[in-house]
Every structure is written in structure tokens, then in C-alpha cells.
A = this chain, B = another copy of it.
Amino acid sequence: MGTEKISMKKISEEAGVSVATVSRVINQNGRFSKETEEKVLRVIKKYDYRPNLLAKGLRTKNSKSIGVIVPDITNEFFARIFRELETRLFQKGYTVILCNSGEDPHIEDIYYQHLLTKGVVGVIYLSGKNDRRAIDSPIPVVYIDRALNFETNGAFIESDSIQGGYLATKELLDNQCKRILLVRDKRIITPPEHRQKGYEKALIEANIKVDPQLIVKADVGYESGKEAIKKAVNCNLRFDGVFATTDWLALGVIDGLRELSYRIPEDIKVIGFDNISISRFSYLPFSTIHQDIPKISEAAVNVMLKLIKDQEVPDKHIVIPVKLIKRESV
């Protein structure tokens, strides 16, 4: 073990001033002369002293740390958002505690409680599930991607999923698809719900009736996409295009279709959603809807910072535009 922990007291003694003065120059709170400043600064540098943020946090009630709860950081989408959040937040002097909830509301709650005791000044939920604490949280809560109750002391940032669903479906339509299968996450949560809305909107606009048979609900993930598409084919569902509400689902669909000897895009066209790297690097780089992760994160950080400072947040619900990425699957 290396250097002893050194405190403000030592610095003040060494510099021949009071701790209050040391505190003032450290925080640049004024009320000290140029000379004493230099004196103090010299001693600080000499000992390579840094203030104990725990003590500071206890005193000021600002721990300068915020919590982020994600279902699973292993998911590239969450990891990319987290990275942006963390970098931006650190730049503003905040450190971030990351928690993996595994989509379990109970665990989410345990984490949330624990974060409170750690004195975090705010928490960001990615795809949060737990609605209980959102309502009267003593600290600001911002949600990304999934809407919960945020009116009281929080905010909600999301991609424009309706527009995304619309763009995806329209792209298929524009490429002569007549019967478009929607393969969606079965859960009743904002993203798939909105993506479906966009899908329906595009169909209606093209004077095509929405056929409930063509909407298939699946669990999340690759295997599930594969399974769903095979079942659809086996049920003699006819379709010439597929819009899958996530890239993993889309990849499963593509591989399932290939195993059934369909050619993509000749026989069937496929489009996904998210633009994660798998969409670019899989056998058949496939078209998808791009989410603007930097923008999402930036908005989340801005709102959070305002909420922390108790500033007015004009827009508690921010929707970030998406865009179509054309590749080889349509």
C-alpha cells in the first residue's frame, strides 16, 4: 500500500492557513488573496492532494454520482448508450454506477434503493420496468427507450419508433412488397407497440388493409425470430416482405428463411430495427432503422443535469428522429 491518505487539515497546517481557506481556494469560492492562494496551491501540489469526495458529498448532499440501470450491458444497444452517457457525465464531473437488472423489476428496485443509499443524485433507466419508484422519487429519474411514469420528477427520451416503423414498412412497400409480415416483440411496451403503429400507418397510407394474420408476436432474440418465421411459413402465410422490430429478430428471420431456401431479397425482402453491428456484419448486411444513440444520450444527460439543478425542463418527453439504412436485404 502506498501513500497515506492526506486531508485538508494537513494541507492547512502546512500552508499556515485555516481549513476554511483551503476549502475556498479549492472550490474557487473567492475571499482569499492571490498570495494565500499560491501558498495553498503549492502545498496541494506538493502532496498531490485531492479532496475526499465522500466527505464532500456528505456535506454538500451532492455525491456527484449518478446511477444507470440497464437490463443487460451485454446488449450492444445499451452498451452504446451507456458509453455516451458515461463520457458526457464524467466530463461534467459525475461518475456513474452501472447496474444490470436482467429485466427483473424486483432487482431493479433493489438497485434503485441501494443507489439512493449511495447518495446518487439521479438515476437513468434504460428500458426500465419498475414503475413503483418512479412516482415520488426523491431524486430525478430519466427513462430512455421505455415509458413509465415520469411526470413528477423525471423525463423520458425515446427514438421515434412510430416514424421508424413507418419508414421500414414504406421501404418495403416502395420495393414492390405487397404483403408484409410484421415480426414483433410480443410484450406490451412502448418500442414494439410504436413500431407496429408505424407499420400500420404506412400500410393504410398505401391503401393496404392491415391483416392481423400478418402480425406475429415473438419473444426477443435470434432463436425466437428464426422460430417465428418458420412457423409463419409452415402456416402457409404468404408474404413477400418482413419487418422485424429488432435486428436480432431480423437476423433470425433471415437465417430461418435461408434454411427454408428462400432467397433474400429476391423472394422475400427483410428489414430490421436498431442498426446494431450485427446488421452490418452478418452474411447478408441487412436494411434497418438507425437509432441516433449520441442524440438520445445527449438529450438524457442534458435533461438530467437540469433536473439535478432543479431547473425548468420545458420538454419532459423528447423524441429523437430515426433514419433508414439501406443495405442488401431489400
Instruction: Assess whether A51 is interfacial by the CB under 8 Å rule.
Output: yes
A137 touches B2 (CB 8 A): yes
Q: Which one of B3, B113, B138, B283 lies within 8 Å of A138 (CB-CB)?
A: B3
| Cα of A57 to Cα of B65 in the assembled complex, Å | 15
| Cα of A50 to Cα of B116 in the assembled complex, Å | 9
Instruction: Assess whether A292 is interfacial by the CB under 8 Å rule.
Output: no
Instruction: Assess whether A47 is interfacial by the CB under 8 Å rule.
Output: no
CB-defined contacts of A97 to chain B, threshold 8 Å = 65, 95-98
CB-defined contacts of A54 to chain B, threshold 8 Å = 54, 57-58, 63, 118-119
A251-B281 contact given A76-B76, A79-B74, A83-B73, CB 8 Å threshold: yes
A2 touches B136 (CB 8 A): yes
Within 8 A of B (CB), among A27-73: 50-55, 57-58, 63, 65, 72-73
CB-defined contacts of A86 to chain B, threshold 8 Å = 73, 98-100
Instruction: Assess whether A278 is interfacial by the CB under 8 Å rule.
Output: yes
A118-B100 contact given A281-B222, A282-B281, CB 8 Å threshold: no
Contact with B along A1-26 (1 / 0, CB 8 A): 11111000000000000000000000
Within 8 A of B (CB), among A273-290: 277-278, 281-284
CB-defined contacts of A222 to chain B, threshold 8 Å = 281
Instruction: Assess whether A176 is interfacial by the CB under 8 Å rule.
Output: no
Within 8 A of B (CB), among A234-258: 251
CB-defined contacts of A51 to chain B, threshold 8 Å = 117
Tell me, rounded to whole Å, the shortest Cβ–Cβ distance linking A202 to chain B.
Answer: 29
Q: Which one of B100, B116, B283 lies within 8 Å of A284 (CB-CB)?
A: B283
B95 touches A90 (CB 8 A): no
B76 touches A83 (CB 8 A): no
Instruction: Assess whether A302 is interfacial by the CB under 8 Å rule.
Output: no
Instruction: Assess whether A82 is interfacial by the CB under 8 Å rule.
Output: yes
| Cα of A175 to Cα of B55 in the assembled complex, Å | 63
Q: Which one of B96, B98, B117, B153 lies within 8 Å of A1 (CB-CB)?
A: B153
A117-B53 contact given A3-B136, A3-B138, A82-B73, CB 8 Å threshold: yes
Within 8 A of B (CB), among A92-119: 95-100, 111, 113-119
20 residue pairs A–B, Cβ–Cβ below 8 Å:
A2-B136, A2-B138, A3-B136, A4-B138, A54-B58, A54-B118, A54-B119, A55-B58, A58-B58, A72-B83, A74-B79, A76-B76, A90-B99, A95-B118, A96-B97, A222-B281, A251-B281, A278-B278, A281-B282, A283-B284
Supplied contacts A2-B136, A283-B283, 5 more A-B pairs, CB within 8 Å:
A55-B58, A65-B118, A73-B79, A79-B79, A96-B97
